[in-house]
A and B are shown apart, each in its own frame.
Chain A
Amino acid sequence: SSWWSHVEMGPPDPILGVTEAYKRDTNSKKMNLGVGAYRDDNGKPYVLNCVRKAEAMIASKKMDKEYLPIGGLADFTRASAELALGENSEAFKSGRYVTVQGISGTGSLRIGANFLQRFFKASRDVYLPKPSWGNHTPIFRDAGMQLQAYRYYDPKTCSLDFSGAMDDISKIPEKSIILLHACAHNPTGVDPRQEQWKELAAMVKKRNLLVYFDMAYQGFASGDINRDAWAVRYFIEQGINIVLSQSFAKNMGLYGERAGAFTVICSDADEAKRVESQLKILIRPMYSNPPVNGARIASLILNTPDLRKEWLTEVKGMADRIISMRTQLVSNLKKEGSSHNWQHITDQIGMFCFTGLKPEQVERLIKEFSVYMTKDGRISVAGVTSGNVGYLAHAIHQVTK
């Protein structure tokens, strides 16, 4: 007999299931709109030029492979903080922050979740927007926290339920933790406008909530790194000492290299040092110290003026292509003769789009047109190209007319 007889088979990953089914499909017109990675206009993965250049530079330097410090590559963590906070940020310049390297966005979120579980004794409750990235819930749960929700997406308008969000947040018990997507909300693509962010900041301040920002798409959303970090920076300027998780998977295309960072804004540099020491104590029994490759690449790009400039252009290029596909999808739907209001497709931002399609319609798209997406009607705009946007519009029109 086995120790594992009672171990249940884990439920299959819903998003993975989409890709698996797509792979099996023999229809030449098939489209995979479940993919959470950027694709170029030929539907191919895109390795940024600045990344290739950084890799060549790294190769020529012939560096050793000695362990990184537990908190990661210092040049990388400092540059990540500066990228998020802005070079003129008082919090950055005064050193009242600590940034540790994390295993991309997930690893950074998990370090933060574990840190809060251990040191934020005021509450176990983490409030997520409804809906949020599917992995947020199990990450916080595995860290020992409890999950709550606040209204966010309005399915009637396919946009932000701002009054619902404000109403719910106004009732969150003081000193709870609230998670906010800094930009390019996943999965809806619905972001608050700047005036709305201002009201949200005032409300969380009033409720004395601990703010946890998840920023996985800086630069990738609008094409402008400062614009995408606006909410994060505004909150800090309002005196809200946030915690922040960053990912370089999408904006630098470093998916498999796992480059990310977790930041805690503190009262002062001394507090930052103490927080850092505790973060290291959390990291050591998880994986000892982080992987170097992605951090080295990102660090070189951020810290080398020429490469940084090239990166900003390339990330804008990716964002622009996505925005252009949104525009083309809407215009193609109009051309098909659709009478529905598809404005939300261009109002939404980032990699994902909540189309508003119902499960039965999604089912038809998959079965009849080989267009693959998740049942909630979410599409990855990154999977759309100028070559297939017409087909997509046609298919959507067929199932919604």
Chain B
Amino acid sequence: AYRTDEGQPWVLPVVKKVEQMIANDNSLNHEYLPILGLPEFRANASRIALGDDSPAIKEKRVGSVQSLGGTGALRIGAEFLRRWYNGNNNTATPVYVSAPSWENHNSVFMDAGFKDIRTYHYWDAAKRGLDLQGLLDDMEKAPECSIFILHACAHNPTGTDPTPEQWKQIAAVMKRRSLFPFFDSAYQGFASGSLDKDAWAVRYFVSEGFELFCAQSFSKNFGLYNERVGNLTVVGKDADNVQRVLSQMEKIVRTTWSNPPSQGARIVATTLSSPQLFEEWYGNVKTMADRVLLMRAELRSRLEALGTPGTWNHITEQIGMFSFTGLNPKQVEYMVKEKHIYLMASGRINMCGLTTKNLDYVAKSIHEAVTKIQ
């Protein structure tokens, strides 16, 4: 979760404002939402992902399912794919998850019934960057119709994203080999500060004619973690296909949670449908993204000033909440035990934990860990 420079959780000012508006609106009640969710939320959420001028939206071949966070969107998508993709109830369709990835990806698809979950090369520890060749090789070798979970931006946990040129290569292979793109978009806006930039990959795939799913989370970019606001965007060949897909997703939703929670969706819908509130929100998002970007820059410059062995440009080349520092497990242990700095054994740090007050300490500690421990 995001933290301010004081190390505190942050409820976005626009969220506070909109919540007050909702609280003061006596015409609102707590009635059930439709099974697929609040219509104004669904339309706006998909519009944010695909862009105002998305041809897919104009051609009415976009569907949306309001879900319980990004996780819920992934699960509904996974349950649908298991029932209807690549035949009927084909649990043998391979599902590819990046190595590494968010650990819950595996569980979501497993619990949805998929039996063959594999990894695709992603993180190159030696060069501290994307193993593009390994990734493309895995896609070449993957059985046709395999499902690939792609991180739309701010890859979790490595912070390493393909460049637009690399995405183009990925898309070309996936198209040729009939692989299904399932995007996980948990950080749109939060990563670079630009909604469009962070959605570039998803939109590129759409422009290349792919049918795809995109699981969106509004936990981070709206700071609405505990309201469970998510959306599954479905892009199909045409409106008829999308309608049938949605009708079946409705059945899946009905037996999972019947209909989604209204509070978070109302906040997001109200914000996104008002030009003024949208601008305020964009400003709040940029505040968060800029702080993280600043912490990255400051950490890197301190490490380089200290002459810490190794190269540290990956700190600023990576993006989003997380960074794979490159620290090995022993060095991590040193950080935790001796310096009381908590990070994952993988060397992953949460950039949101950095503040202007602790930057020096963290940089010095990394320097010690790297010089003392090999």
Question: Hey, which bits of chain A sit against chain B, CB under 8 A?
Answer: 1-10, 13, 37, 45, 47, 51, 55-56, 59, 62, 64-68, 103-107, 110, 135, 138-139, 141-143, 249, 253-258, 281-282, 284-294
Contacts and interface: CB of A to CB of B under 8 A. Distances in A.
B75 A285 contact: yes
B33 interface: yes
A235 B250 CA distance: 36
Contact of A291 (B180, B236, B263): B263
A299 B264 CA distance: 19
A294 B228 CA distance: 12
A288 B71 contact: yes
B255 A257 contact: no
Contact of B104 (A3, A288, A294): A288
Given A65-B225, A256-B259, A103 B9 contact: no
Given A138-B254, A285-B71, A287-B75, 17 more contacts: A4-B211, A4-B236, A55-B23, A65-B225, A67-B219, A103-B257, A106-B257, A107-B256, A110-B256, A135-B255, A135-B258, A139-B255, A284-B104, A285-B107, A287-B67, A287-B68, A289-B226
B32 A37 contact: yes
B245 A7 contact: yes
A68 B255 CA distance: 23
A59 B19 contact: yes
B194 interface: no
B20 interface: yes
11 contacts: A2-B238, A3-B211, A4-B236, A66-B9, A110-B255, A258-B257, A285-B71, A285-B75, A286-B71, A291-B226, A294-B261
Contacts of A291: 68, 226-228, 261, 263-264
A105 B257 CA distance: 8
Interface string B22-38: 01000001111101000
B30 A253 contact: yes
Contacts of B75: 285-287
B259 A9 contact: no
Interface string B74-114: 01000000001110100000000000000010011011100
A257 B180 CA distance: 34
B247 interface: yes
A194 to B, nearest CB: 31
Contacts of A287: 67-69, 71-72, 75, 228, 257
The 5 closest A-B pairs by CB, nearest first: A287-B68, A10-B247, A285-B107, A256-B262, A106-B258
B224 interface: yes
A284 B262 CA distance: 21
A239 to B, nearest CB: 32
A19 B111 CA distance: 34
A9 B240 CA distance: 10
A8 B244 contact: yes
Contact of A257 (B71, B224, B263): B263
Contacts of B228: 287-291
Contacts of A3: 85-86, 180, 211
Best-buried of B75, B104, B225, B264 by chain A (most CB within 10 Å) = B225
Contacts of A8: 244, 248
Contacts of B257: 103-104, 106-107, 110, 258, 287
B251 interface: yes
B245 A106 contact: no
Given A139-B255, A287-B71, A293-B261, A64 B248 contact: no
Contacts of A257: 30, 261-263
Nearest to B226: A292
Interface in B16-72: 19-20, 23, 29-33, 35, 67-69, 71-72
Contacts of B255: 106, 110, 135, 138-139, 141-143
Nearest to A58: B23
Nearest to A144: B113
Nearest to B103: A284
A285 B23 contact: no
B162 to A, nearest CB: 24
Contact of A2 (B67, B237, B261): B237
B11 interface: yes
B320 interface: no
B260 interface: yes
B251 A51 contact: no
Contact of A4 (B84, B252, B258): B84
Given A7-B84, A45-B31, A285 B110 contact: yes
Contacts of A254: 30
A51 B68 contact: no
Nearest to A142: B255
B223 A65 contact: yes
A67 B226 contact: yes
B243 interface: yes
A35 B195 CA distance: 41
Nearest to A73: B226
A285 to B, nearest CB: 4
Contacts of A286: 68, 71-72, 75, 111, 256
Contact of B224 (A7, A65, A255): A65
Given A8-B244, A110-B257, A257-B263, A138 B251 contact: yes
